[in-house]
Amino acid sequence: MTEQRSQTGAPLHHVVAAKQFTRELVSALFARAQELQAQLPGPPRRELEGRIMATLFYEPSTRTRLSFESAMLRLGGQVVSTENARDFSSAIKGETLEDSIRIVGGYADCIVLRHPEEGAAKRAAAISPVPVINAGDGPGEHPTQALLDLYTIATEVGRLDHIRLVLVGDLANGRTVHSLSQLLSMYPGLHATLVAPDRLRMSPNLVAQLLAGGAEVEETTDLLAAVENADVVYQTRIQTERMVEPWTADEAELSRFRITEETMRGLPASAIVMHPLPRVGEIDPAVDDDPRAAYFRQARNGVPVRMALLSTVLGR
Amino acid sequence: MTEQRSQTGAPLHHVVAAKQFTRELVSALFARAQELQAQLPGPPRRELEGRIMATLFYEPSTRTRLSFESAMLRLGGQVVSTENARDFSSAIKGETLEDSIRIVGGYADCIVLRHPEEGAAKRAAAISPVPVINAGDGPGEHPTQALLDLYTIATEVGRLDHIRLVLVGDLANGRTVHSLSQLLSMYPGLHATLVAPDRLRMSPNLVAQLLAGGAEVEETTDLLAAVENADVVYQTRIQTERMVEPWTADEAELSRFRITEETMRGLPASAIVMHPLPRVGEIDPAVDDDPRAAYFRQARNGVPVRMALLSTVLGR
Amino acid sequence: MTEQRSQTGAPLHHVVAAKQFTRELVSALFARAQELQAQLPGPPRRELEGRIMATLFYEPSTRTRLSFESAMLRLGGQVVSTENARDFSSAIKGETLEDSIRIVGGYADCIVLRHPEEGAAKRAAAISPVPVINAGDGPGEHPTQALLDLYTIATEVGRLDHIRLVLVGDLANGRTVHSLSQLLSMYPGLHATLVAPDRLRMSPNLVAQLLAGGAEVEETTDLLAAVENADVVYQTRIQTERMVEPWTADEAELSRFRITEETMRGLPASAIVMHPLPRVGEIDPAVDDDPRAAYFRQARNGVPVRMALLSTVLGR
- Look at residue B5 and tell me whether its pLDDT is greater than 60: no
Mean pLDDT is lowest, of A279-293, B281-295, C3-17, for: C3-17
- Which of B69, B87, B93, B128 to mutate to probe the A interface, most A CBs <10 Å? B93
Contact B136, B116 (CB under 8 A): no
Question: Which of the residues A47, A48, A73, A93 would you substitute to probe the C interface, choosing the one with the greatest number of C C-beta atoms within 10 Å?
Answer: A93
Tell me how far apart the alpha carbons of residues B81 and B55 are, in angstroms, rounded to a whole number: 5
What H or E segment, with its residue span, contains residue A30? helix A23-38
Q: Which of A49, A103, A110, A113 best tests the C interface by mutation, with the highest count of C CBs <10 A?
A: A103
Nearest C-alpha neighbor of A16 from the set A106, A138, A117, A142: A142
> Would you say B230 and B224 are in contact if contact means Cβ atoms under 8 Å apart?
no
Q: How large is the ipTM?
A: 0.92
Whether C278 and A78 lie within 8 Å, measured CB to CB: no
Residues of A in contact with B52 (CB under 8 A): 70, 73-74
**Contacts (Cβ under 8 Å, ≥6 apart) of A211:** A217
pLDDT, one tens digit for every residue, chain A (316 residues): 334 443 334 469 999 999 999 999 999 999 999 999 999 988 999 999 999 999 999 988 999 999 999 999 999 999 999 877 766 544 345 789 999 999 999 999 999 999 999 999 999 999 999 999 999 998 889 999 999 999 999 999 999 999 999 999 999 887 888 899 989 999 999 999 999 998 899 999 999 999 999 999 999 999 999 999 999 999 988 765 555 565 566 777 778 899 999 999 999 999 999 999 999 889 999 999 999 999 999 999 999 999 999 999 998 6
What is the reported pTM?
Answer: 0.94
Contacts of A35 (CB under 8 A, 6+ apart): none
Residue of A32, A114, A115, A122 with catalytic role = A114
Give a three-class secondary structure readout of A87-138.
HHHCCCCCCCHHHHHHHHCCCCCEEEEEECCCCHHHHHHHHCCCCEEEEEEC
Q: How far apart are CA C149 and CA C156, in angstroms?
A: 11
Compute the distance between CA of residue B266 and CA of residue B256 in angstroms, rounded to an integer.
Answer: 14
Chain C residues near residue B42 by CB distance under 8 angstroms? 50
Contacts of B278 in chain C (CB under 8 A): 88, 93-95, 99-100
Is A86 labeled as catalytic in the residue annotation? Answer: no
Q: Which domains does chain A have, with CATH numbers?
A: 18-141+301-314 (3.40.50.1370), 143-299 (3.40.50.1370)
Rounded CA gap, B279 and C193, in Å?
Answer: 51
* CA separation for the pair B141, B174 (Å, rounded): 10
Q: Do A66 and B80 touch (CB under 8 A)?
A: yes
The one catalytic residue among A14, A51, A122, A142? A142
B300, B304, B305, B307 alpha-carbon torsion, rounded to 10°: 130
Do residues C48 and C311 make contact, with C-beta atoms less than 8 angstroms apart?
Answer: yes
| CA A275 – CA A283 distance, rounded (Å) | 9
Residues of B with Cβ-Cβ distance to C104 under 8 angstroms: 66
Q: Which of B84, B93, B103 has the CB atom closest to A83's CB atom? A: B84
Is residue B201 among the annotated active site residues? no
Q: Quote the CA–CA distance of A268 and B248 in Å, as a whole number.
A: 63
Strands B216-220 and B191-195: parallel
Q: Which of B19, B22, B45, B63 is catalytic?
A: B63
**Chain B residues with CB-CB distance to C100 below 8 A:** 278
Statement: residue B7 has pLDDT above 70: no
The partner residue sitting opposite C241, judged by closest CB among A92, A102, A104, is A92
- Is it the case that residue B51 has pLDDT exceeding 90? yes
Closest chain A residue to the Cα of B50, Cα to Cα: A44
Contacts of B22-28 spanning 24+ positions with Cβ under 8 A: B22/B186, B23/B186, B23/B187, B26/B147, B26/B150, B26/B160, B26/B183, B26/B186, B28/B312
**DSSP, res B44:** P
Count, residues in chain A: 316
Q: Tell me whether residues A83 and B85 touch, CB distance under 8 A.
A: no
pLDDT tens readout for residues B151-172: 999 999 999 999 999 999 999 8
Name the nearest CA neighbour of A259 among A300, A292, A229: A292
Q: How confident is the model at residue C240 (pLDDT cuts 50, 70, 90)?
A: low
Query: Got the DSSP string for B171-216?
Result: TTT-HHHHHHHHHHTTSTT-EEEEE--GGGPPPHHHHHHHHHTT-E
What spatial distance separates the first Cα and last Cα of chain A, rounded to whole Å?
24
Which residue in B51, B114, B175, B306 is the catalytic one? Answer: B114
Strand order in the sheet with B78-82: B78-82, B52-57, B110-115, B132-137
Chain B contacts to C (CB-CB under 8 A): 41-45, 60-63, 65-67, 69-70, 73-74, 79, 81, 83, 240-241, 277-280, 285, 296, 299-300, 302-303
A142 is catalytic: yes
Highest mean pLDDT out of C37-41, C191-195, C255-259: C191-195
Neighbours of chain A (3+ CB pairs under 8 A): B, C
Q: Are the beta carbons of C80 and B63 separated by less than 8 Å?
A: no
Say which residues have a Cβ less than 8 Å from residue C2's Cβ, sequence separation at least 6: C13, C14, C125, C126, C128
Least confident of B74-88, B109-123, C171-185: B74-88
> Between C44, C278, C279, which is nearest A50 by CB?
C44
Going by the DSSP 8-state scheme, the letter that residue A21 receives in this structure is -
CA C2 to centroid of chain Cα atoms: 22
What's the pLDDT score for residue B41? 85
Burial class (CB in 10 A: 0-12, 13-18, 19+), C278: buried
Which one-letter DSSP state was computed for residue A35? H
Q: Which residues of C touch B (CB under 8 A)?
A: 46, 49-52, 54, 78, 80-85, 87-88, 92-96, 98-100, 102-104, 106-109
**Residues C158-217: tens digit of each pLDDT:** 999 999 999 999 998 878 888 999 899 999 999 999 999 988 999 999 999 999 999 999
Angle at C243 between CA C237 and CA C248, to 5 degrees: 75
What is the pLDDT averaged over residues C68-73?
98
Distance from CA of A82 to the nearest CA of C (A): 7
Q: For this structure, is B93 an active site residue?
A: yes
Beta strands (DSSP E) in A204-309 are 216-220, 232-235, 272-274
